[in-house]
Every structure is written in C-alpha cells, then in structure tokens.
Amino acid sequence: MGGVALMATGVGGIAGAALIGATDVLTGSVAGAVGGRIGARTTALDEVTAARRASGLTEHPLFTQTTARPEFGHGPFESRTIGEVSARIRSGEIDPSALPVDVVRRDGQVLGMNTRSMLTLRRAGVPPSEWTVRDMSGAPRVERLLDDRLMRNQLGEGVETIRITGVGSKASSLR
C-alpha cells in the first residue's frame, strides 16, 4: 500500500521539482504517459520499489526543466506553494523526508526529477546531505521520462537555475 500511496499522492515522485519537484512529476508524467491504467502504474511502482537508496548528496542535484509552477499539483501539498511548504519545514511542522527526491546519475551529473520538492528543500535551507534521495538510475521508465523532459525543455543536460512561472514572461516568483 505504501507504494500505491506514494504513486497516488506524488510524494517521492519523479520531479519535482518535483517530487518537489519535483514531487508531482511522477504522478503527472507517469499518469499522462500511461493514461492512468492500473497495470502500467504497477510497472512504475515496481521500478520505484526496486530503486536503490542514494546516500545523502554532497551537492544539489541539477534541475531537468527550465520552468516550474509555484504550486504543488498532487499529493499532500497539492495547491500549496513552494514558499508555504518551505516555511512549514523551517518551523518544524513538516519533516523534510516528506519530500523525497528521485535522482538519475548520468554523465557525471546528478539530475533531480522532483523540481518543486528540490526547490522547497533548498528554500527551507535543508542541505542535500539531509534529503531523502532515491537513485532511480537505470529504471527504464524513469530514464525515458528524463529523456522526454530534457528534450521538451531543449536541454542536453541538467541546469542549476529555474524560472518559477505565473508572474509574466521572463519573470520568476518566490511564492
């Protein structure tokens, strides 16, 4: 059941930015990619279950997209902003482990799949060595999602900066 809740809520999703962003990328991308079919979700769950635990990171993973919305789209933080969740982490109301980050190691880079989760943890001042990280390297579905995301964002590799959308073109919001 833990795996199903993980998938359904998006916590620990592939983003996310998403988990954060990160956080909601798994539910958004996988649900979109598999059309919400139960059997396809089971395959993705198998990959998540088989993922290797990564030890604490020494530096921040790179982003795999160029923009992100400020609000979480799925899971326990749905409709909450990066700023709201990071403030709750700083106050101790939310444990940073509630925002796991999936990474893929590729060509010497550590690429984060949970954009909003990564942004939230960074903004809360949680060092990457204290993040809950899962190494999804080699998981075929995750590798395809990463390839698709990099191509969609016209990136050949990860990036260190990202623009938070919602306040007009070429502007970024810190909500």
Q: Measure the CA dihedral 5/165/104/40, to 10°.
A: 40
List, in order, residues 6 or more apart from 42 with CB less than 8 Å away: none
More reliable by pLDDT, 68 or 167: 68
pTM of the model: 0.67
Query: Do the beta carbons of residue 98 and residue 76 sit within 8 Å?
Result: yes
Q: Among 34, 15, 32, which Cα is nearest to 24's?
A: 15
List, in order, residues 6 or more apart from 38 with CB less than 8 Å away: none
Residue 32: count of CB within 10 angstroms of its CB: 10
Split at pLDDT 50, 70, 90, the class of 1 is very low
- Over residues 34-83, the pLDDT tens digits come to 333 334 444 554 554 444 455 568 899 999 999 999 999 999 999 999 99
- Over residues 96-143, the pLDDT tens digits come to 999 999 999 999 999 999 999 999 999 999 999 999 999 999 999 999
Distance of CA 150 to the CA centre of its chain: 14
- Pairing type for strands 67-68 and 17-18 reads unpaired
Cα–Cα distance between 144 and 66 in angstroms, integer? 18
Query: Do the beta carbons of residue 143 and residue 75 sit within 8 Å?
Result: no
Domain boundaries in the chain?
2-164
